[in-house]
Structure 1
Amino acid sequence: MNDRSPTLAARVSYQALRDYLATRQWQSMPSRLSYAAIYRSPGAGEVEVQIPLDPDLADYADAITFAARRISSFEGRPMEQVLRDLVQPRSDTVRYALSGVATETGTIGLVAGLALVEGALKSLLASACSVQRPRRFHPRMTLTDAESYVRACRLGQTEIGSFVLTVDTPLDIHDQLDASETPFGRRATTLLFESTAYLARSIRQGEAARVLDDRPDAPLVSANLCDALVEMMPPDESADLRLSGAWSPLIPAPTAVPVVIHFDRTMFESVERLAQQLRPSQSTEGTHFVGKVVELSGAPNAAGQLEGDVILQVQADDQLLKVRVALAPKAYADAGTAHFAQQYVSVHGQLHRGRRTHGLRNPTGFTILPA
């Protein structure tokens, strides 16, 4: 048993455990004990769980642990996950996991870990924006309810697995649940699972293009969601990405919604391509960008002058993007000056989206902005 299980079990409310079982169609059975309730599993009803009804009982944590062990065996998932779901009954749980040779120790590179966290945040925000305003692309993910939803999300403790990031997502962004309709937070989490499952299934079946079509029987997949998935994928394609989840016991779980979605590394390129195709076409006139030079990687030309690629960090669509741009000697020299002086630069061009670093085509007007 994991050392943290007793601590988690002591924090579980018996009311939350009863609600958890009831919303999963476990049946309440007669009990001869006034301090215990009995529930029988759905279907053949071969598993029974006894719930302690008094948190002051000396063996309360042990009884909760025993119940959680039986539930985990019945559901086929780790007991600690069951306990964590019971500790946060007002939240749904989303788990983002990277699995592969590089993560077998349960650790991950710092840069890849930061990208996983940032991508997870963007995936939740993209789904919340699509609930509030359904569309294929959100140029600015700044909708009020969507931002409130993401601000209320909380990181859970790491779990056993290759590398698992746990996020507790609120059922609702308001103080009190409205029983007359599905809460906003549940709708956002549901759309996240529906959209990612549909996306993964379409790619796996060789029909990725159907994601681009507006189908009344299919969940909406946005470019922003695809961007978020791409960001979470390791740049060296050394691991698969898995999403999984658990529903709060306070309201019935949605039916026919997959809660385990697998993107293997062979699917990364397709997700990236769909992210580009779901975006509106870029204007041929180009766009104005302002940012800072973060990397210089040019080389001397035939005349001995430095020219070539620089990496800029610019603001676009309310996101910080790394953009690669090829510069002639004069502009490259200006880029070097701006880099060492930490000054902002300005440039026009056509943005071409990539996985980690994007490209800027036909750059013009590269200048250093006044400090």
Structure 2
Amino acid sequence: MNASDVTPTDLRDFARSLGWQILPDGIVERLYVLAHPAFPRRQVVIPIDADAPDYAEASLRAMEKLADIHKLSLADAVSRARTVREDSMQLRITSARANDDGLPLSFASELLRGAEQMLLSSACTVLRPQIHHLRLHRSEATQLLGYAQLGQTQRGSFVVRVSCPVDAMPMPASFPHVGENTSFVRETMLVARTGVREIVRAIEADALDSFVGALKNAPAPVVSSNLCEALSRLHDEDIRNNIDLSFRWAVRLPLPNNVPSDEVLRIPSVYFDRIDEVRRELRSVERDRDDVFVGTVEQLNGEFDVEGRRAGEVIVALLLREGETLKARLTLGSDDYASAVEAHVNDRAFVRIAGRLRPGRQPRTLIDVTSFMLIPAPGRGGL
């Protein structure tokens, strides 16, 4: 097993994650010397310089000692040392029908898409908690996905490991309430872990009705329909597989005290039907939204009256605050319709609409419109 590609600092940090501490005088002749309070007669020695002539031999010896003391396989110890700066989630697939010969290719493809959607939906929940995200590919979420990597699977089981350097992205500047000692990657992984944990707990307590009701009324729900949809992708009806979800956390960023470092969240096969019920409930519930919207006029479907004035239905594309675009239909009188025509002719013009946006499929319906105003294009004066 080659441990020489593990850097000295990563090997040191891996040892520290297991409880080893550098002795007060523990840097001697370019060597880290570490001790553990539970093993008073043992020491681990790690060269400080990766280009030292005996670094490969010394790092392997240190790794073997750590693996032996902590009852790890050497392969697992090396893997954990290599990813000590990364947060990762691992999805282990088990089933009475699964074997070492492989998984159906169609399910393997869905499995990867589900893992990707878990990251995207969790990142979007960090940015704007809600029970259904209309669009998952927000810029920050997509950027985080670009840093993520698919790790190697483990022998004897099917394991998908998705990892991301914990310091790849800081929290967006628009989130001043978040402490300094965190990152967007860490917050996303924590939301994914918490969301799955809460769903599993609700199923096991037979409390899905109250769980869904609480999510609908929560100001910052941690579970979205998108997360439930991602979890559904991790299950195959023919294999009837279970999922064991675990996380590994970069040691350079402390975990909250209430988050165990070695937790495994098990999702039995029979839970996935219930998870899909939660998905349908969360996606179907949307409330009317009274607001002032800005958008563009996309279609003019009105009709002329006997006086030659046009009025009726208009389709607009609303630019929502969260960076999404949503189509809606509304009915305008002749004066406002004339403004809509002008905005439609000039594709640089926007309109400002005050009204109530109804839930449902696009195009949504805008009712109780109290104001429809043209925002002139730059250089034309006006508002």
TM-score bracket relative to the smaller structure: 0.5 to 0.7
Provide the residue aligned with 2:282 in structure 1. 278
Taking a change above 3 Å as real, the CA distance of residues 186 and 111 of structure 1, as seen in their structure-2 partners, is: same
Conserved 8 A contact 1:106-1:163: no
C-alpha change, 1:60 and 1:218, in structure 2 (3 Å) is: farther
Query: Could you tell me which residue of structure 1 aligns to residue 272 of structure 2?
Result: 268
Q: Describe how 1:189-204 pairs up with structure 2 within 5 A.
A: 189-204=189-204
Q: Distance in 1 between matches of 2:198 and 2:35?
A: 33
Q: d(CA) in 1 for partners of 2:227 and 2:42?
A: 39
Amino acid at match of 1:263: I
Q: Which amino acid aligns with 2:265?
A: I
What is the aligned partner in structure 1 of residue 47 from structure 2? Answer: 52
1:85 to 71, 80, 87: 80
Alignment pair present for 1:209 and 2:205: no
TM-score by length of 2: 0.64
Residue type at the aligned position of 1:271? I
Indicate how the Cα distance of structure 1 residues 67 and 243 shifts in structure 2: closer, same or farther if over 3 A, else same: farther
Q: Using the TM superposition, name which of 186-195 and 88-97 deviates more.
A: 88-97
Once residues 156 and 248 of structure 1 are traced to their aligned partners in structure 2, the CA distance between those partners, rounded to angstroms, is 15
Supply the distance in 1 between the matched residues of 2:191 and 2:100 (Cα, whole angstroms).
Answer: 32
In 2, the alpha carbon distance for the partners of 1:223 and 1:76 equals: 40
1:228 to 227, 230, 233: 230
Which whole-Å deviations, capped at 9, do the CAs of 1:308-348 have from their partners, x for residues lacking one?
xxxxxxxxx99xxxxxxxxxxxxxxxxxxxxxxxxxxxxxx
How far did residue 153 of structure 1 move? Answer: 0.7
Map 1:332-343 to 2 at 5 A: none
Say if 2:89 and 2:245, in contact at 8 Å, map to a contact too: yes
Question: Whole-Å Cα distance in 1 between the matches of residues 147 and 20 of structure 2?
Answer: 30
What code does the residue aligned with 2:232 have? V
**CA distance in 2 between partners of 1:17 and 1:219 (Å):** 38
2 CA distance for matches of 1:219 and 1:21?
37
Shift of 1:208: 3.0
Structure 2 counterpart of 1:246, which letter? R
Identify the residue that residue 244 of structure 2 maps to in structure 1: 242
Is 1:15 the equivalent of 2:9?
yes
Aligned to 1:128: 123
User: Shift of residue 58 of structure 1?
Assistant: 4.3
Distance in structure 1 (CA, Å) of the matches to 2:42 and 2:202: 37
What CA distance in whole angstroms lies between the structure 2 residues aligned with 1:216 and 1:167?
29
Q: Could you tell me whether the CA contact under 8 Å between 1:35 and 1:53 is conserved in 2?
A: yes
Measured in 1, the distance between the counterparts of 2:172 and 2:75 equals 27
**Counterpart of 1:53 in structure 2: which amino acid?**
I
2:233 match: secondary structure: helix
**Distance in structure 1 (CA, Å) of the matches to 2:244 and 2:66:** 23
Percent identity between the aligned chains? 26
Q: Which has the larger radius of gyration?
A: 2
Structure 2: how far apart are the matches of 1:45 and 1:118?
Answer: 47
Cα pair distance change 1:74/1:32, threshold 3 Å: same
Q: Which moved more, 1:19-28 or 1:165-174?
A: 19-28
> Could you say which residue in structure 2 is the equivalent of 1:65?
60
**SS state of the match for residue 135, structure 1?**
coil
Q: Deviations over 1:25-51 (max 9, x none)?
A: 432224485243232346676864332
Q: CA RMSD in A?
A: 3.4
Q: Spell out, residue by residue over 1:48-94, the C-alpha distance to the aligned partner (whole angstroms, 9 max, x if none).
A: 43323232344423433343344445655544333223223442121
Unaligned runs of 5+ in 2: 174-178, 288-323, 326-359, 362-383
